[in-house]
Amino acid sequence: MDITAIIQARLTSTRLPGKVLLPLGDKPLIWYVYKRTCMAGKIKKVVVATSSEKSDEPLVNYCLKENIPVLRGSMDDVLDRYYQVAKQINARHIARITADCPLIDHTILDAMANEYSRVSNDIDYLSNTHPPTFPDGMDCEIFSFNTLEKAWKSATLQSEREHVTPYMYNNPDKFNIQNFENDEDYSHIRLTVDEKEDYELVKRVYSHFDYRLDFDTHDIIAFLSKEKEFAKINNKFARNEGYLKSVRQDKKQQQKKRE
């Protein structure tokens, strides 16, 4: 099955501005996200989707310099950005990856791609986050272009437009959804990069593995189990805080309409 990974990325993140170009050794974070995603044998194409705003010019220039495919679209309507990019490259099936996951694991991506290929005639949306059992930072969602198009046409809430997939998983009456679970629940481990403490932890992980790409989630967990105190550096942050913030904004807007 032809699955295309689309990595959403921008430089204007509010909690850690410019994070996708922060260095990990001698390469920026986005390089690791792209390279580790490319390691998945079941992913046929990998594209970075960023905004058309001037603020993302440095990211685009870096991608072009490194021969990383990059396309541009709306800054805030990320659902539209995803849809337009998928349409432009004729992607039939899409794996959604976010650029704050520099430790994304190709073995998880391949396992999910295999499962999606097996059940794609029966489901519209596969994720490993509802509920999560993998560490935060190993998130992946796979869906067809038709599913993306339905969401693009129907989603109206800010949280649905900013975060691409909420319309899919919040409407199980419209979409057949399935969760991909790990054998053991590691959802309490935070390996994403949204805060300064996240970045410090990821730097420590990459330094331990000499900035290689050939280590996986099990290797990371084994390392952090020996660095228990340091592993707690970022455990005060909530999972999916960006999405939860958008949901709160939706509720405020809906309350104003009722008043």
How do 93-98 and 3-8 pair as beta strands?
parallel
**Under-50 pLDDT residues of the chain:** none
pLDDT, position 250: 55
* CATH number, position 230: 3.90.550.10
pLDDT, position 13: 87
Asked if residue 201 lies in contact with residue 191, where contact means CB atoms within 8 angstroms, the answer is yes
Of the candidates 175, 83, 181, which has an alpha carbon nearest to the alpha carbon of residue 140? Answer: 181
Could you tell me which residues come within 8 angstroms of residue 221 by beta carbon, excluding any fewer than 6 positions away? 135, 186, 189
Alpha-carbon distances of 212 from 183, 191, 207, rounded to whole Å: 26, 16, 9
Of the candidates 54, 8, 3, 60, which has an alpha carbon nearest to the alpha carbon of residue 33? Answer: 8
Asked if residue 71 lies in contact with residue 108, where contact means CB atoms within 8 angstroms, the answer is no
Asked if the bond preceding 58 is cis, omega within 30° of 0, the reply is no
pLDDT, position 194: 95
Asked if residue 21 lies in contact with residue 60, where contact means CB atoms within 8 angstroms, the answer is no
Of the candidates 175, 174, 128, 156, which has an alpha carbon nearest to the alpha carbon of residue 246? Answer: 156
pLDDT, position 254: 55
Question: Which three-class secondary structure state does DSSP give residue 117?
Answer: helix
- CA-derived radius of gyration, the chain: 18
pLDDT, position 220: 98
pLDDT, position 28: 98
The domain tally of the chain equals 1
Helix (H) or strand (E) holding 70: strand 70-73
The total number of residues shown for the chain amounts to 259
Structural domain containing residue 201: 3-258
Judged on CB neighbours under 10 Å (0-12, 13-18, 19+), 40 is: buried
Half-sphere exposure of 214 (CA within 13 A, CB side): 1
**Separation between Cα atoms, residue 97 and residue 100, nearest integer Å:** 9
The position carrying tokens 């309490």 is: 188
